[in-house]
Chains A and B, each alone.
Chain A
Amino acid sequence: MRKTLILAAALLSTGAANAGNVTLLNVSYDPTRELYKDINGAFASDWKQKTGDTVTINMSHGGSGAQARAVIDGLDADVATLALAYDIDSIASKAKLLAPDWQKRLPQGSTPYTSTIVFLVRKGNPWKIKDWPDLIKPGVHVVTPNPKTSGGARWSYLAAWAYAEKAPGGNAAKAKAFVAELYKHVPVLDTGARGATTTFAQRGIGDVLLSWENEAHLALKEAGGDKFQIVYPSNSILAEPPVAVVDKNVDRHGTRKVAEAYLQFLYTKPAQEIEAKDFYRPRDASVLAAHSADFPKIALYTIDDVFGGWTKAQQVHFSDGGMFDQIYKPGQ
């Protein structure tokens, strides 16, 4: 039965593309659409110069968790560039497509750029939102996506939690109460960061959008700069979106060399320039210094400091029946 089915499937199949040129598939999360459009062009010409080969990079975007799931289900990614380490860990643990120590293979825990969570408010800041406590003022509506499906939303949740736990007199119980109250102010829970931005910017829902810094800048740019403004809270979280080569897929495609070069390229100066231009905080100190006006210095907690790493944070906060499920009970 199985043999027959596989044979039948073979008849249906288009098979793998075997063109003379190299093709990579980068499976990424939602807000990187603009970033990788720019990066891919730069890398292709760099690679052409160095090797004479033409490389085409195909992109797939979606919620970080959804994208990880697609790779686990067989989406043939050569590289995964996702919103948080846990999602690539899942690809390693559930589908065994790459080694569990993948994060050690590239500098800075395989995160060539960082970001953080900021507030996007409507022009003039009518609710006078300045810091985290302002979000739970009566009447304020906060837009953020669903932490169960969106990577950015998980960073937002953890940023709020870290603020409340680390505030003077703060502790885990107070943090839980604060975050629970915060989610009572959320009228729409989109599945991805981009959906949330659309809801806030285009559909006019809510007073504050909890957003990736890069996403907030992009929304500002798209709206023409006179509809929104960005508010930096007193502290936030250091969001580290990691990148990894998916070992089993590149070895099957024979694309390891170019895939590795692609990810290393992300750390080069020209690439760091592009990342800074698209409002991701570059790792390169000199590039960061050149763009310091775009990236105000605020106190940033790391996930290791406050939550003991992603595996633990995921387990405690976002697993089935975890903290988020306990505190988020709309309609009751």
Chain B
Amino acid sequence: MPGFGFSLGFTLFYLSAIVLVPLAALIIRPWELGWSGFWAEITQPRVLAALKLSFGASAIAAAVNSIFGLVVVWVLVRYRFPGKRIVDALVDLPFALPTAVAGIALSALYAPNGWLGAPLEQAGVKVAYTPYGVMVALIFIGLPFVVRTLQPVLSDLSRDAEEAAATLGATRMQTFRRVILPSLAPTLLTGTAMAFARAVGEYGSVIFIAGNLPMVSEITPLLIIIKLQEYDYAGAAAIGVVMLGVSFFFLFALNGLQAWIGSRR
């Protein structure tokens, strides 16, 4: 087979030029602070609070998406109802809609004078400009990851095992818990992890709705921007390196997970 040298060479060159060299520049930068300086930088209360919010809100959003994503997938694959094709197409909206557009739309929607914000405010729930706002934005951007990962697997899932379970007298719920869920679980986990990884770094859709209170609703990517504005390049890079490390970890874990799923199938 020809073309190996050329395609691999081009891939490596392009990968290095666009991704690896720039990331190397990022990774080198904070070490001018030394190890202790780096550690002090990323353990500041404000940085820790931002990391906690980013990871916490992303985890909650991913969990919400895993539950509702499963319901959406189930409905899309197993049921027939009018408008199903439209719902199916709409699931990808967060992939296609620019994050800044999502951000201003969500903040207009959930502000105290917005369509959803007003009734929620009356019920005593504040969403915009609170950590809940962050979660709403992250749920928005994460949903398609769960749905699109799970959908083909559920479509392919054979119903033989379900029928067998029903014949043996299992209720529908028991069948779901004991038969269906276990075979979906690895894929569900993959989709959820992807939604989580994407949510941790999300910026555009969150900043408009978060209110950006330090220690309360300030996400990590925004803190990087703020550090940059305070001329603290090393500090910004240090937080960037932490986020990058987490991304790496997740990618490896995900690829491992997928390899494992592949070997089981």
Contacts and interface: CB of A to CB of B under 8 A. Distances in A.
B129 A205 contact: yes
Contacts of A202: 111
Given A69-B228, A203-B107, A328 B128 contact: no
Contacts of B222: 191
Interface in A196-227: 199, 202-205
A240 to B, nearest CB: 21
A192 to B, nearest CB: 10
B185 to A, nearest CB: 36
Nearest to B112: A204
B96 to A, nearest CB: 26
A320 B213 contact: no
Nearest to B128: A203
A226 to B, nearest CB: 16
Contacts of B258: none
Interface string B191-218: 0000000000000000000011111100
A186 B215 CA distance: 13
Question: SS class of chain A's interface: helix, strand, loop or mixed?
Answer: loop
Contacts, number: 70
B160 interface: no
Contact of B226 (A8, A72, A90, A149): A149
A331 B231 contact: no
Interface in B36-58: 49
A320 B129 contact: no
Contacts of A69: 228-231
A13 B216 CA distance: 42
Interface in A48-72: 63, 65-66, 69, 72
Interface residue tally on B, bucketed by range: 20 to 34
A175 to B, nearest CB: 21
A293 B228 CA distance: 41
Contact of A149 (B211, B213, B215, B229): B229
Contact of B111 (A65, A90, A203): A203
Contact of A94 (B17, B225, B226, B231): B231
A128 interface: no
Contacts of A94: 231
A203 B112 contact: yes
A330 B232 contact: no
A73 B107 CA distance: 31
A90 B229 contact: no
Interface string A114-127: 00000000000000
A243 to B, nearest CB: 21
Interface string A296-332: 0000000000000000000000001000000011111
A207 to B, nearest CB: 13
A66 B112 contact: no
B113 interface: yes
Among B212, B215, B228, the most chain A Cβ lie within 10 Å of the Cβ of: B212
A329 B112 contact: no
A205 B214 CA distance: 17
B232 A189 contact: no
Nearest to B111: A203
A332 B230 contact: no
A205 B129 CA distance: 9
Contacts of B128: 203, 205
Contact of A189 (B49, B111, B212, B231): B212
A330 B214 contact: yes
A148 interface: yes
A8 B17 CA distance: 10
Contact of B129 (A8, A148, A199, A329): A199
B111 A331 contact: no
Interface in B104-147: 107, 111-113, 128-129
A270 interface: no
Contacts of B215: 329-332
Contact of A203 (B113, B212, B216, B232): B113
Nearest to A191: B212
A146 B214 contact: yes
Interface string A181-193: 0000011111100
Nearest to A1: B21
B57 to A, nearest CB: 14
A84 B128 CA distance: 31
Contacts of B112: 203-205
Interface of B: 17, 49, 107, 111-113, 128-129, 211-216, 222, 225-226, 228-232
Given A146-B226, A189-B214, A328-B214, 19 more contacts: A8-B17, A69-B228, A72-B231, A90-B231, A94-B231, A148-B230, A149-B229, A187-B211, A188-B212, A191-B222, A191-B225, A191-B226, A191-B229, A203-B107, A204-B111, A320-B232, A330-B215, A330-B216, A332-B215
5 contacts: A65-B229, A146-B212, A188-B212, A191-B212, A330-B213
